[in-house]
Amino acid sequence: MRKVVTAPAGVLSTVAAEVDPADPAIVALAEELVAIMRVSPGCVGLAAPQIGVSASVFCVDVTGHPKAVTTHGAFVLCNAKIIEASRWRPGREGCMSVPDLTGDVKRAGRIVVEGLRPGTGETVTLTTDAFEARALQHEIDHCAGKLFLDRVAGAHAIYQRKVYL
């Protein structure tokens, strides 16, 4: 299993390449992302750039998280795009690729996302809210070469992590 890369690794600030979801290498990458997410305490999402692969693929699973309202279970999307966003709210975020910091980031509280399912290439449209919406936007940002630190309001909204999972 690959290790999670941390900032300032160049892959984290590079726009990830769109992928062919039917490519067996992408299907294997999707499985690896889920496996790494599962063994990483507190992890609710992981994008390919976070393991050093410049590919627009990520997984999310907020099942059982206390901040989750809507949940779609564990899923992986390729080439995902936000097609609707509303109900913007600030919230605290952390990231495995920025292990020592958290920050307040304004994100949409309700989104509609469209992406492709690895393996089949089937188009998937998800409508979600609350914590799952935040997690999806965070992972889509990774694929766009952005970290949560790129979205905080300023230095006053960045904090030392107090709890390490």
Candidate list 32, 93, 132, 139, residue with the active-site label: 139
72 in a labelled binding site: no
Query: How far apart (Å, rounded) are the C-alpha atoms in residues 137 and 39?
Result: 22
Radius of gyration of the chain (CA): 15
Can 31 be counted among the known catalytic residues?
Answer: no
d(CA 45, CA 128): 15
103 neighbors 149 (Cβ within 8 angstroms):
yes
142 labelled binding-site residue? yes
Please count the other Cβ atoms lying within 10 Å of the Cβ belonging to residue 165. 10
Q: Are 87 and 131 in contact (CB under 8 A)?
A: no
Provide the annotated binding site for Fe cation. 95, 138, 142
Residues with a known catalytic role: 139
Provide the annotated binding site. 95, 138, 142
